[in-house]
């Protein structure tokens, strides 16, 4: 479960790049295709994020899981409150910053992510994506936030369905910061 949360959230969180005010859905069909994402990213020039080693911290604040037994929900809520935050480190290369592609948004192909919304206005970003990391599991995420060249902050709502635990909605925050140069 943690892998799905981290992969979807971290990949989207690293998606803070230069996008136009109208968003990437240029044909207006309600979906952002790989071609639209590539065009949007390429037309904006270099991403706002500075290349280097980035640390992304993810903290969930609330859990709604109607089908989860009370004891299991209590245990998960307790674990969420005890866990200070998940942390993922990744390297943003100069090449990725200068010429971002659609893969920059969805991470590896195994996450099987599609984007319904990808909009930027000034330093604000809104992303809506759906990932299907395994057969039958769907993770729908909405993120809104602000970013600078070396930091960003976003709120997140993540709805997961198709798990043995039933449907869940988790809300939280994502904080990213550049912590140095990429390892050699």
Residues of the chain short of pLDDT 70, as ranges, are 1-23, 34, 37-48, 84, 98-110
State the alpha helices, DSSP H only, in the chain. 2-13, 34-43, 70-82, 94-98, 103-106
Helices and strands of the chain, counted as H and E runs? 5, 7
Q: pTM, whole model, 2 decimals?
A: 0.69
CB of 181 closer than 8 Å to CB of 50: no
CB of 90 closer than 8 Å to CB of 54: yes
pLDDT at 177: 92
pLDDT at 39: 61
Separation between Cα atoms, residue 113 and residue 110, nearest integer Å: 8
pLDDT at 93: 84
pLDDT at 153: 92
Q: What is the mean pLDDT of the chain?
A: 75
pLDDT at 137: 92
pLDDT at 168: 92
């Amino acid at each position: 479960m943690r892998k799905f949360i981290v992969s979807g959230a971290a990949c989207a969180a690293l998606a803070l790049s230069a996008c136009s005010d109208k968003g990437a859905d240029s044909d207006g069909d309600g979906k952002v295709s790989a071609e639209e994402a590539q065009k949007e990213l390429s037309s904006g020039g270099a991403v706002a994020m500075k290349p280097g080693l980035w640390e992304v911290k993810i903290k969930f604040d609330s859990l709604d899981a109607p089908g989860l037994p009370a004891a299991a929900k209590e245990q998960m809520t307790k674990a969420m409150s005890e866990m200070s935050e998940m942390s993922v480190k990744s390297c943003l290369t100069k090449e990725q910053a200068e010429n971002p592609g659609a893969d920059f948004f969805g991470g590896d192909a195994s996450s099987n992510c599609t984007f319904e919304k990808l909009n930027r206005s000034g330093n604000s970003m809104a992303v809506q994506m759906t990932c299907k990391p395994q057969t039958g599991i769907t993770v729908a995420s909405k993120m809104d936030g602000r970013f600078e060249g070396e930091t960003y902050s976003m709120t997140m709502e993540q709805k997961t369905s198709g798990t043995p635990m039933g449907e869940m909605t988790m809300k939280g925050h994502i904080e990213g910061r550049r912590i140095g140069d990429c390892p050699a």
